[in-house]
Structure 1
Amino acid sequence: MVEKPRDVRAAVMVEPWHIEVQSFAYPSIDKHSAIIKVEMCGICGTDKHIFKGEVKSLRGKPVFPIINGHEIIGTIVEIGERAAENMEYSGKRLEVGDRVAVAVEVNCGRCWYCVHQYDNITCENQILAYGVRPPITEPPYPPLRGGWAEYMYIFPGSILHKIPEDLPTEVAVFTEEMAVAYSALARAAQPYPGIHEGFGPGDAVVIIGCGPLGLLHGIMARIMGADTIICIDLADNRLKLAETLFADHVINATRTTREERITMVKELTDNVGADLVIEAAGDPETFIDALEMVRKSGTVIEVGNWVETEKTVPLNVQKHICSKNIHVYSVFHCGYRWDRVIKILRRYRKQYPFEKMITHQLSFNELLKHMNTIATDPTSHIKAVVVPHKY
C-alpha cells in the first residue's frame, strides 16, 4: 500500500522571471489515469524561453501559470486498471513501482493527423503537452501537469515508456531529447542514395550549438556512421565535452568571425562544405550559417528554434537554398519511437557517458536560486535537471 502525501510541492512559473514553490492537493485517479513520483526532470531550452518571457502564447492560449518540465522520469505510485493495460507504448503491462518516461503530448486520436499517424505534434486538438501547455488553472484535470513537481497526474490517453532496471535515471532522463535526435537523423537519412543525397555513413557533419540537444545529435550521428564531426559553440566547457564524446574538430564562435567559421568548415570538408549541418543553437541567425556551411545537394536540419520569439533574419532563397539544391528538414518533435531510443541509451551508455552532460542537479530551492543564470548564461552549465525530492 503506497502512503499518499497530503500535499504535493511543485515549482510554479507564475510569470516571466518568477518561480515560486506552491503546494497542491494530492490528486485522485480513475481507471484510466495514474500518478507518478517524479525522480528527475530535465530543464529544456523551451523552459528557458518561457522563463524569459519570450513565449507570448502556446496554441493560442496563455502561458502562465505553468508547472514546467517535459523531460520526465518517474516511478508509478498509483495506476488505474485500464491505464495499466493500455498506457505503455509497446504493450507491456504497467505496475506500481515501474520507472517510466512520460511522452510529452496527449492527443485527441480523432483529427486527420492522428488518424493518419503523423508525429505527435501535428494533432489539431491536442489535449495537453506535459510541462508546456495549457496553464495549470485550466480545468478539468488536476494542475500537477509538469515534471517540476514531486508527483504528477498522468492523464487518460497518455503514453508511458517503461525504463529497464539497469538504465540509470541520470541516463534515462535524456530519453525525450535523444528521441528528438533520433527523429531528426532518421528524417535526414539517405532518401536518395543513388545520387549521394541525404545523410549516411561516412558523411561529414557540422553541429551548431553544443548544448545537450546538439551533443545528443552528435552522438546519434556517430552511431549512424558519421565520419568527420565538427562542433561550433560559444562555450569551451561544452566544446571540451563534445571532444570527449565524439567531435573531431571544435570551433569557438566567440573567438572567430562568421566568415572564418564558414571557411574553416569548408577547409575541413574537402573545400565543398558539410554533407549535413544540424542547427541546434536556437538562434535564427545560425540557421543562415547552416545554409552557408552545407555543400551543394547537402542536408540541413533545423532543430534549435522550438519557440516563436518573433526574431527574424533575412533569407536569400535563391542563394541559400535553390542554387545549392539542398534538402532542409525542420524538426519540431521527439516522435513516437522512444522504445528504440531507450534501447540505444542502454546499449551505448558505456561508450557515451551521457550522465557527464548533467552539471547541475537542483532541488526546488536551488532551482529558484539558479534559474536566472541557467536561462541567461549558456557557459554556466551543460545540462541542468530538477530533482523534486532533493531537500
Structure 2
Amino acid sequence: MPQEVQGVVARAKGEPVSLETVVVPDPGPGEAVVSIKACGVCHTDLHYREGGIEDKFPFLLGHEAAGYVEQVGAGVTDIAPGDYVILNWRAVCGVCRACKRGKPWYCFDTHNAAQPMTLADGTPLNPALGIGAFIEKTLVHSGQCTKVDPAAEPAVAGLLGCGVMAGIGASINTGAVSRGDSVAVIGCGGVGDAAIAGARLAGAGTIIAVDMDDRKLAWAKDFGATHTLNTKGKSQDEVVEAIQELTNSFGADVVIDAVGRPETWKQAFYSRDLAGTVVLVGVPTPDMTLDGMPLIDFFGRGGSLKSSWYGDCLPERDFPMLVDLYLQGRLPLEKFVTERIQLSGVEQAFERMHTGDVLRSVVVFD
C-alpha cells in the first residue's frame, strides 16, 4: 500500500524549500521503490528551486542518490528487493534512433516512473531529473537503478548519479583523454574536479586546473591537477598564453569548460592546440549567447567542439566500473564529500553553495 514519508519540496520559484509529507505509491509495471541512504546536494537542485530548469512546481528535489531496492513492480527482472543501487536519470529505452545506432548514452527517450508521487493533499510532484531523492523512499523506473558493489558507502557512491559522473565522463567519454595528453579544466567545483580526476585516471600527463579561487585550486590538486592557474584579473589573452606556456607553447590537447559561460568557452576554444578538443560540460543559461567569434577561427583551428550530456555515460557500464576503481583506491570519490547533513539541512546547503565553501553536501539517512 502507499507509504507516507518525508521529502524536500520546492513549492514556488525562489522560495525556501520545505520538509513535507509525500505519498509514495506501490510500484507499478517497470517501477521500483528505493529506500534512500544518501543523496548529494547538486547545483541542479538549486536551479530547480530557482525555476531555472522548468516552472512545473512543486518539485521533489534531489537526484544524486544511492540506496536499497525495497519493492519492484510487475515485469521487473533486472533488480530485486535488497539490491544496492545508484539512481540515474538516463534509463535508456533501447529502441530510439540513438539506441539503435549503438549510442545509448545519447538515448532520446529515457524512462521515468509512470505514476506520480504526491503531497498529502494529492498534489502531484515533479521529481528532479525524474528521480526526487531528498526523501526517505522514492519511486523510479527500474531502469534508473544501477546495481553496484555495496562495499561503497552511500554518501560516496551516490555522487556518481550526477555531478561526479558528468565530470569524469567529460574527460574519459566525451573528451577521450588518453595517455600523455595535456588537459586544461576551467572551473574547479565538483564537476571540474571530477573532470580532473577523470583525466588523471586516463593517464593525462599535464592537467591544468583553472579557476579564480585559490581554495578551489588547492582542492583541484588533491584530484590530480599538475598545475594551477588563477585567472582573477587576467584577460582572455593572458589566460590563453598561460595555458600555452604550460603546454610547450601549443595549447592543451583537451580543454574542458566546467563553467558554461561565453567567456570561459572562448578561453577554452583558444587555449586548445590545433586540432584539439573543447568539451562543454558546464550548463549555460538560456539567455547566454556566443558573440564576436570569427567563423574563420572555427575553420582554421580544426579539431572538435563537443557538448557532454551527463558525461556521455552509460550507467550500467560506468557506475560499477567507477565504484570498483574507488574501492581499489584509484579514484578518490570520498574527497568530494565536504559535509554530511540531515534532510532538514538542504536549504542551508544551498546557501553554502553560493559561498563556495563546499564541493558537496550530502544528505545521509539513518
Q: TM-score over 0.5 for the alignment?
A: yes
Mapping of residues 1-391 of structure 1, within 5 Å? 6-18=3-15, 19-30=17-28, 32-55=30-53, 57=54, 62-80=55-73, 82-83=75-76, 85-86=77-78, 94-106=79-91, 110-119=95-104, 122-123=107-108, 126=110, 128=112, 145-155=131-141, 158-176=143-161, 177-184=163-170, 185-189=172-176, 199-254=177-232, 256-305=234-283, 308-334=285-311, 335-349=313-327, 350-374=329-353, 376-377=354-355, 379-387=356-364, 389=365
Deviation of residue 353 (structure 1)? 2.5
Aligned AA (2:302): N
The Cα RMSD (Å) is 3.0
Contact 1:178 1:341 in 2 (8 A): no
Structure 2 match to 1:89: none
Equivalenced residues, count: 355
Aligned AA (1:8): V
Q: Distance in 2 between matches of 1:20 and 1:255?
A: 40
Which sits farther off after the overlay, 179-188 or 363-372?
179-188
Q: Distance in 2 between matches of 1:129 and 1:206?
A: 39
> Relative to structure 1, is the Cα distance of residues 369 and 175 closer, same or farther in structure 2, using a 3 angstrom cutoff?
closer
Aligned AA (1:66): F
Contact 1:17 1:372 in 2 (8 A): no
Q: Distance in 1 between matches of 2:314 and 2:186?
A: 25
Contact 1:65 1:136 in 2 (8 A): no
Contact 2:117 2:139 in 1 (8 A): no
- Write out per-residue CA displacement over residues 205-260 of structure 1, whole angstroms, 9 at most, x where no aligned residue: 00001111111111111111100100012332321121122011111233544332
Q: Distance in 2 between matches of 1:282 and 1:44?
A: 16
- Write out per-residue CA displacement over residues 279-302 of structure 1, whole angstroms, 9 at most, x where no aligned residue: 111323211110011111111111
Q: Distance in 2 between matches of 1:344 and 1:370?
A: 26
**Partner SS for 1:207:** strand
Percent sequence identity over aligned pairs: 25
Q: Distance in 1 between matches of 2:209 and 2:227?
A: 6
Contact 2:59 2:125 in 1 (8 A): no
Over 6 Å off, 4+ runs: 134-137, 139-144
> Relative to structure 1, is the Cα distance of residues 64 and 270 closer, same or farther in structure 2, using a 3 angstrom cutoff?
same
**Partner SS for 1:382:** coil
Q: Distance in 1 between matches of 2:225 and 2:29?
A: 48
Aligned AA (2:62): G
Q: 5+ unaligned residues in a row in structure 2: which ranges?
A: none
**Partner SS for 1:113:** helix
Structure 2 match to 1:192: none
Aligned AA (1:15): A
Q: TM-score, normalised by structure 2?
A: 0.86
**Partner SS for 1:174:** helix
Aligned AA (1:207): V
Aligned AA (2:299): C
Q: Distance in 2 between matches of 1:290 and 1:280?
A: 10
Contact 1:64 1:135 in 2 (8 A): no
- Write out per-residue CA displacement over residues 54-86 of structure 1, whole angstroms, 9 at most, x where no aligned residue: 33x3xxxx4321112222211112223632x13
Contact 1:301 1:330 in 2 (8 A): yes
> Relative to structure 1, is the Cα distance of residues 135 and 75 closer, same or farther in structure 2, using a 3 angstrom cutoff?
closer
